Amino acid sequence: MGLLVCLGEALRGKDNQVEWFTKVVIPGVQDGINALGISREPPIVLRAHATDPNAVMHAALPIYKNLYTMAKYNGESLTTWEPRGPWQQVHLNMSRLGSQHIANVHILANLEPFRYGAQRFIKKCVKAMETRIGAQGLHLYPLCYWNWPYSPDIAGPQLKQYERDWIWFEAWARYAWNPDRDEHQDRQYWIDRIADMYGNKEAAEKILDAYNDSGECAPMLIRRFGITEGNRQTLSLGMTLDQLVNPKPYGPFKDLWLSQAPPGERLQEYVEKEFKGEPHIGETPPQIVQEVLEYSQQAVESIEAAKPLVTKNQAEFDRLYNDIHCIRAMSENYAAKVNAAICVLIYKFSEDIQDLKKASQYLEESLNHFRKLTELTRETYSFAQSMQTSQRKIPFPGAEKGVAANFHWSQVLEKYEKELEDFKKYLNEVETDEKKK
């Protein structure tokens, strides 16, 4: 048992941090070792946040050997098993310092508040920790960190996250112990575990497929279309059309697509290349739209097929069943709004009003999907994100005048309704101007 503090969170200046670590933290631990009369050094973990691990470890390793570094795996979300770019290099540099390195699966802002049991995705991530970033250990956060230990579900009695999200914790632990498992045997393991939960092996197989397919959607959506992988954005509450079309004023975090995503194109880059007839590179917005619709539809089909076969824990299955449908509605909402954004961006090149008319149709379609998502969550979830403060910016502020706000789908629905209304007014104005010419 230990105290995990962040050396650079409040203590500023590299020299101050090195001095604090080597002259306060380590001597304090050594005092404890001497008082207990033990010889083995307990581990000390340096979290790489607002500090220079290279400088700290260079000074610390001569006086203490059992040292670890830690850094966020995909930032504050789960986005890819292909970490690359600047942040991958940060991990690799820490893994070569002479200490041991730990990957921290942190906050999970894009997965809130729904259940996540995609062992296929998790397995690939753990393997990536080993092979792509040099990690030798895992530090895992719960799915709704700021509300621990309670889940966001509306249920009586209130659900505990360590019970609701058993498969989340178990999957990471299983692959942290050994990610190199035979695919067939591994699949049978999860079918057996899920059958223990829901009473039927055939149902378990379909539930596992639903977990795995639905688990692809949020990572792909955030890495291709998001503003940030962090606490500032609540993925499940959607995004405004302006945030998709013109993200710059909203403070886009470049590491999201330069480090926490495979190679690909942002919306603006894709449309410009498309209009100029230039070749595309990596993931494209239409590709992601198609894939999230396919994955979410497959997940719905699997959970529907499992429904009549479940014989145990019916209430929890019903909540999982609803989550899968929520992820489908969220995916449909994003797909339609991304298509609307593409049409708006094309209009900037084409100046063809038909592109705006297509955008209006897609925007209305996205709103209808968001209405469905609102109904699916109205009586099932207390909130979409567990941190309800002004730090939440996307799609809308998480607090107004010091009071939590815009944390439930029902609270932001009218904002999206107004967005469509305003866009139609704009379209009418453009159409009127066209007729005058």
Mean pLDDT, the chain, rounded, equals 96
Give backbone dihedrals phi and psi of 179, rounded to 5 degrees, phi first: -80, -10
> What is the spatial distance between Cα 257 and Cα 71, in angstroms, rounded to a whole number?
18
- Whether the per-residue pLDDT at 1 is higher than 90: the answer is no
Please tell me the predicted confidence (pLDDT) of residue 91. Answer: 97
- Residue 49's pLDDT is 87
CA atoms of 153 and 232, how far apart (whole Å):
22
User: What's the average model confidence in pLDDT over 271-279?
Assistant: 95
Considering only CA atoms, which of 202, 114, 206 is closest in space to residue 165?
114
Per-residue pLDDT, 433: 87
How far is it, in rounded angstroms, from Cα 361 to Cα 342? 12
User: SS3 for 50?
Assistant: coil
Using CA atoms, how far apart are residues 214 and 377, in angstroms rounded to an integer? 17
Model confidence at 402, pLDDT cuts 50, 70, 90, reads: confident
Confidence category of residue 8, pLDDT binned at 50, 70, 90: confident
Per-residue pLDDT at 342 exceeds 80: yes
Q: Where are the alpha helices (DSSP H) in 226-313?
A: 241-245, 255-258, 267-276, 285-306
Q: What value does the mean pLDDT take over residues 277-285?
A: 97
DSSP string, 342-367: HHHHHHHHH--HHHHHHHHHHHHHHH
Distances (CA, A) of 227 to 26, 88, 328, 401, 419: 39, 20, 21, 24, 19
- Strand residue runs (E) in 83-242: 100-105, 137-140
Whether the Cβ atoms of residue 151 and residue 142 lie closer than 8 Å to each other: no
* pLDDT above 90: residue 401: no
Q: Strand, coil or helix: what is 284?
A: coil
- Could you give phi then psi for residue 310, rounded to 5 degrees? -75, 135
210-252, pLDDT tens digit by residue? Answer: 999 999 999 999 999 999 988 899 999 999 999 999 999 999 9
Report pTM.
0.95
Instruction: Evaluate whether 108 touches 84 at the Cβ level (below 8 Å).
Output: no
Secondary structure letter of residue 160 according to DSSP: B
* Cβ-based burial of 277 (10 A; exposed 0-12, middle 13-18, buried ≥19): exposed
DSSP 8-state assignment for residue 233: B
